[in-house]
Amino acid sequence: MKIYQLREAIVKGNLNLAIEETNRALTDHVKLQELINEYLIKGMEEIGKAFQEGKAFVPNLLMSARAMKGSLDILKPLLKEENVAFQGRVVIGTVKGDLHDIGKNLVASMLEGCGFEVINLGVNISDEQFVKAIKENKADIICMSALLTTTMVYMKDIIQLLIKTGLRNQVKVMVGGAPVNQDFADEIGADGYTENANAAVSLARSLVA
């Protein structure tokens, strides 16, 4: 079996190498899910662990996410052709008043790579915008992100609007972000909380199972 430098490219945040190695692996007919699970996700897990241990920093995460996106952009059309098991539809966004999107974009990329269709709303998203997107896309999961203690409380307003509009029973709610924890998730009535992108993929899979 050939050894590809794709995982290393992701860890180092080398976009050109990631694209080159992805194309090389495809030429050699490596299975798409193997590329995603064994190279892209393992690479992101490695850089994520380094970040948690203080051995890598936000710019490193951004570069790794960019390299992974470059690889995923090549794989996505092929995933559709190969009809890789569709996991579900996710609406994701950073809540109103908050402009942070690094973690949210990382989660979105990893969910896409694992077979979810992702509608990324961006940042500063109101409760009405979330609800509109859920209705329009018939979403299975809503992912809300916040990086400030002042904005994370807005997550409760979004859940309240889901209840008011009768959508709460139709969609699973995931929350995340630096100030968010399991206690807060339980308090506002979310279905789940994760502290990193890898755990978010596992949780999303279990929620739609």
DSSP 40-82: IHHHHHHHHHHHHTTSS-HHHHHHHHHHHHHHHHHHHHHHHHH
Give 199 or 13, the one with higher predicted confidence. Answer: 13
Structure tokens at 161: 């609007």
Among residues 109, 18, 112, the alpha carbon closest in space to that of 71 is found at: 18
Confidence of residue 83 (pLDDT cuts 50, 70, 90): low
Please tell me the predicted confidence (pLDDT) of residue 161: 98
List all residues 6 or more positions away from 151 whose beta carbon is below 8 Å from its beta carbon. 95, 96, 97, 98
Residue-level pLDDT at 186: 97
* Chain segment 161-185, per-residue pLDDT in tens: 999 999 999 999 999 999 999 999 9
Domain boundaries 88-208, CATH class:
alpha beta
Q: What percent of the chain has pLDDT over 70?
A: 98
C-alpha gyration radius of the chain: 17
Relative to beta strand 192-193, strand 141-145 is unpaired
Tell me if 12 sits within 8 A of 44, measured CB to CB: no
Sorting pLDDT into bands at 50, 70 and 90, what band is 141? very high
| pLDDT higher than threshold 80 for residue 24 | yes
Residue 84's pLDDT is what?
Answer: 65
Has domain 6-82 been given CATH number 1.10.1240.10?
yes
Q: Inform me whether the pLDDT recorded for 201 exceeds 90.
A: no
Residue ranges covered by each domain of the chain? 6-82, 88-208
Q: What are phi and psi of 144, to 5 degrees?
A: -115, 135
Query: What CA–CA distance (Å, rounded) separates 161 from 104?
Result: 22
Q: What's the distance, CA 14 to chain centroid? A: 20
What pTM, to 2 d.p., does this model score?
Answer: 0.78
Both tokens of 76, joined, read 């996505």
Strand order across the beta sheet in which 116-120 lies: 116-120, 88-94, 141-145, 172-176, 192-193
Rounded Cα–Cα distance for residues 116 and 87 (Å): 5
